[in-house]
Chains A and B, each alone.
Chain A
Amino acid sequence: MKEELIKVLQIEKRFESHAVLKGVSFSLNKHENLVVIGKSGSGKSVLLKIIIGLIAPDKGSVEVLGKDICRLKELDLRQLRKKIGYLFQDGALFDSMTVRQNLEFPLKRQVQRKTDEEIEELVHQSLKKVGLSNAIDKMPDQLSGGMKKRVALARALMLEPEIILFDEPTTGLDPVTSKEINRLIIESRDKLGISGIVVTHDMYCVKTVGDRLVALNEGTITEVGGMSELNAREEKWLREFFE
């Protein structure tokens, strides 16, 4: 039986009168990339923010690495978050800090801190992984959109997480940079053993990185399976994604 790292159970979320999620359930297995597809505004990003505890659900539960994220105290939640990486849609780099400081930021604030030399080494390694060693002393506003995403991915990898949540990792990027990001997502799984939830509506990304697919539509989730199953689905809204 596969080990489940994340179990989302009957999540409901409403913003004022608008119900965004209406009883969403799914799970993420170890060493897999689960792709969540859905139109813009379907609640995909909200779902990721609920999983990492940035937004509280109205109903339901989210179990991450065996802990119910909705019931954790602040300190425990912060400890758990160190095992989860998060790639924001626009990178969300700290714009008053250099690339180096962005990457050092979480490491320098650990209880059991690494030495400055170890942190320096890790920063160099992470930037090398994403091919941006020469950008180490640049400010975020000196980077292109693709570079920002790659630095953000390097930052997400700094704490050596077990899971990474990718929010629209390739949106707004040129095809070459998109391919590069997709390659890095696959590498994270294959070389580092990191499982991931990838929220996207980029079908190339879905086909490239996805091991398993779920679709979010009008607040409910449909388990699709693999890419071959997606091609066989009859639902009009699902077919629209790849036709």
Chain B
Amino acid sequence: MKKFLTDVADLFIFTANFFVKFFRPPYEISEISRHILVLGLNSLFLISTSALIIGMVMSIQLTPTLEQFGAETLIPNMVAISIIREIGPVLTALVCAGKLGSAIGAEIGSMKVSEQIDAMAVTGVDHYSFLVVTRVVATTVAVPILTIYSVAISLLGSFIAINLTSSISLNLFFSRAFEYMHLYDVIPSIFKSLLFGFTIGIVGCFYGYNTTKGTAGVGKAAHTSVVSASLLIFFIDMLAAEISHLIIP
């Protein structure tokens, strides 16, 4: 329990330090762009595959139930709402937590145990700004973009699945999908994705920075980053749902 509370307090301080350093020059724009590109591209295949399958599976599973009520025309809309509101952001965030969180934890962890972070510090460079701020900004930007991409792929998956058993044009599918969609279905999801991206970055960096005990510690940092970020994603998701219901009843 004491270890848990200490970790939470340390994570809080680590996060507070991010906001202090975020507004302070130097701004490593090229490094941030490079991370966005690398982190985004690294997760693209996994996100595409999982999103496509989820979209297809949802349509396939909804069809028999809705057919009983003669409401199969609602499938695109039901899939779109559940994917945009919940499944898209959470699925993307979980995939990114596994792929990006572990990569960040392991990379920074191995830099820590091989004294590369100390080597940056002794040259007078602000290593926190260079290593942490850049990665956290990159994940905060990349995860919402990946979420939008994953939603689009899921809807495409749903369209393909519907067309396996019946016939619907792409235009009709998308007009039905967005028929009952409102801005308040989309905005909380984007906001949630921003928080998920931030969490993945900061948690990965935090465990990387606190790596001890050599290469075994690097593995532990990667593993703990994924587990903690995934748990936090569910926790934030629950909080976001409550808050958005309060704001938009």
Which A residues have a C-beta under 8 Å from some C-beta of B?
Answer: 49, 52, 54, 78-82, 84-86, 88-90, 92-96, 105-106, 109, 155, 158-159
Bound-complex Cα distance A84 to B122 (A): 8
A86 touches B125 (CB 8 A): no
B126 touches A95 (CB 8 A): no
B116 touches A94 (CB 8 A): yes
Closest to A167 in B: B115
A86 touches B124 (CB 8 A): no
Bound-complex Cα distance A14 to B26 (A): 36
Bound-complex Cα distance A90 to B214 (A): 14
Bound-complex Cα distance A183 to B143 (A): 52
B114 touches A95 (CB 8 A): yes
- In the A-B complex, the 4 residue pairs with the smallest Cβ-Cβ separation, listed nearest first, are A106-B123, A92-B119, A82-B124, A92-B115
- Shortest beta-carbon distance, B119 to chain A, in Å? 4
Mask for B105-134, Cβ within 8 A of A = 1, else 0? 001000100111011111111100010000
A88 touches B115 (CB 8 A): yes
Closest to B114 in A: A92
- Which residues from chain A contact B120 at a C-beta distance below 8 Å? 94, 105
**Chain A contact residues: helix, strand, loop or mixed:** loop
- Which residues from chain A contact B116 at a C-beta distance below 8 Å? 92-95
B123 touches A81 (CB 8 A): yes
- Shortest beta-carbon distance, A153 to chain B, in Å? 12
Closest to B26 in A: A109
- Shortest beta-carbon distance, A232 to chain B, in Å? 36
CB < 8 Å neighbour of A81 from B26, B107, B115, B124: B124
Among B26, B123, B125, chain A packs the most CB atoms within 10 A around the CB of B123
Bound-complex Cα distance A90 to B115 (A): 9
Closest to A80 in B: B124
Using A90-B114, A94-B116, A95-B116 as known contacts, say yes or no to A52 and B26 having CB atoms under 8 A apart.
no
- Shortest beta-carbon distance, A48 to chain B, in Å? 10
